[in-house]
Amino acid sequence: MKEFLLDGSSLTIADVVAVAYGKPGSPRVSLSEVARGKVARAAAAVERLVESGEVAYGITTGFGAFKSKVISRDETIELQRNILISHAVGLGESLDVPTVRAAILIRANTLARGHSGITVDTLETLIAFLNTGLHPVTPSKGSLGASGDLAPLAHIALPLIGEGEAEIGGEIVSGAEAMKRAGLSTLTLRAKEGLALTNGTSVMAATGVLEVARARKLVGLAEIAACLSLEALNGTDAAFDERIHELRPHSDQILSASNLRRILKGSELVRTPDASNIQDAYTLRCIPQVSGAVRGAVSYAEGIMETEINSVTDNPLIFINQSGAVEVVSGGNFHGEPLALAMDHLALALTELGNISERRIMRLTDSDANGGVLPAFLTRNGGLNSGFMIVQYTAAALCTENKVLSHPASADTIPSSMNVEDHVSMGMTAGVKLKTVSANVADVIALELLCAAQGVDFRRADGKARLGEGTADMYDSIRRVVPFIEKDVALKPHIEAIRALVHAAMNS
């Protein structure tokens, strides 16, 4: 894709991922001609409102609790600058570049609908951030999720007026210098523009979209890891029988079971029917039920994010009827509740994906639990060697952190702006938590892959028993970067090598 046209209505999660992780200008993002016309029409309507002296929230009044403070026509320009510099009070670690790029794209797309009153020049300058690689330094903390992501969006918009900081060419410089290096002119914001730039859900949506995309791939990786563990543990695939899942027809459970059968197809390490060992522990037998439920949570979050990135989420909104009459209507589309609930749900689901993975790591390293199929802690000379003993500790620590982070941010609210904004979503907090949970689960899956590959090597000492169609590829990828561990060595470099494989797959 050489060029992507924003029209406000047809952005997809795949588009956001492509722009977020792509090189600046590849694909090149532009405003469609139809969108340009709608944006220009709304901006002209705002100018007419200002000239007429009509009172309209955020255009000729202050913001939040200052909604009743009327601003003179001569002060409307200063008002828009003030909202950026006064709202840019975020703290914490800066958002990574892909999240910032995704947020800019989503914000531009919502403004392209032509209901926000921004000018074409300002919108195209914002879009130019993506094409020139100008990435505003944006703190991750400070948003309450209503009125949208005020603080982080203000930081993103600051370079437009020559303020703030931005990364460009691998260097962090002042906003003014970044604009100069990008070949862009700083702007004087017109009426409504500062509010249009800061009021909305674009940063939490960007976080949610990227994490949903990563989660979809993470579930697939987790199913491969589970199958490799099953082979290492001499497990049976009987519980994945299609007939079982047709009798409990959750679509994602059926999909998961089908995927497991495909991954294990042709495996010679799967246990054949054994009257003395009829069924496996839940961590192997119930993979489709757990993984399928997680897939369902991902699908739910995907639906929410797809809708959100093509929505108008600022306030107030500009409506122009067929006769040209203009109406400014205040509403609450900036409220992040749908996103907050979806991201909290997804964080909980991914936590469960990590929990079941950690329990398989325990089974791989506990010779009593696996019936002596594998040696204790996956090492030959136990006692002298501790083997993979502490690998399970690390997985347990990550899972415990996730359990703490699974408390829903959306269950909380703290009133703000002199109690005018008296219920907020905490959606960005949900997004920040989700990001940490996702990274932790990816690490747990990496640890399971490390242990499972070691276990497989013990099971097929001659190296001839065939792995499944899906697990064979994963095993080969692991063994290209990590050898069989004969005796105690520093495991950290090996863990990092597999982590790199997992994270690269999630971000591809």
What residues are annotated to the active site? 57
What is the amino acid identity at position 224? Answer: I
Beta-carbon contacts of residue 267 (< 8 Å; ≥ 6 apart): 231, 237, 466, 467, 468, 471
In degrees rounded to 5, what are phi and psi of residue 392? -65, -35
3-state secondary structure of 128: helix
Q: Of 44, 71, 42, 43, give the one whose Cα is nearest residue 56.
A: 71
Per the CB < 8 A criterion, the answer to whether 440 and 397 are in contact is: no
Q: Which two tokens stand for residue 294?
A: 């997680």
Q: Of 200, 276, 149, 208, give the one whose Cα is nearest residue 430.
A: 208
Residue whose entry in the numeric block shows the structure tokens 């329990």:
359
Q: Which two tokens stand for residue 235?
A: 């497990």
Beta-carbon contacts of residue 25 (< 8 Å; ≥ 6 apart): 130, 131, 132, 133
- In whole angstroms, what separates CA 445 from the centre of its chain? 18
Long-range CB pairs of 23-26, under 8 A, 24+ apart, other chains included: 23/133, 24/130, 24/131, 24/132, 24/133, 25/130, 25/131, 25/132, 25/133, 26/2
Q: Residue 28 forms beta bridges with which residues?
A: 3
What is the amino acid identity at position 67? Answer: K
Q: Of 165, 195, 190, give the one whose Cα is nearest residue 83.
A: 195
In Å, how far are 1, 70, 170, 477 from 104, measured between CA atoms? 19, 31, 18, 36
3-state secondary structure of 382: strand
β-pairing, 28-31 vs 3-6, is: parallel
β-pairing, 135-136 vs 326-329, is: unpaired
* DSSP states along 169-190: TTEEEEHHHHHHHTT-------
Q: Of 438, 399, 499, give the one whose Cα is nearest residue 212.
A: 438
Query: How many other CB atoms are there within 10 angstroms of residue 255's CB atom?
Result: 17
Cis peptide before 330, with omega less than 30 degrees from 0?
no
In Å, how far are 96, 255, 372 from 239, measured between CA atoms? 42, 14, 22
Cis peptide before 316, with omega less than 30 degrees from 0?
yes
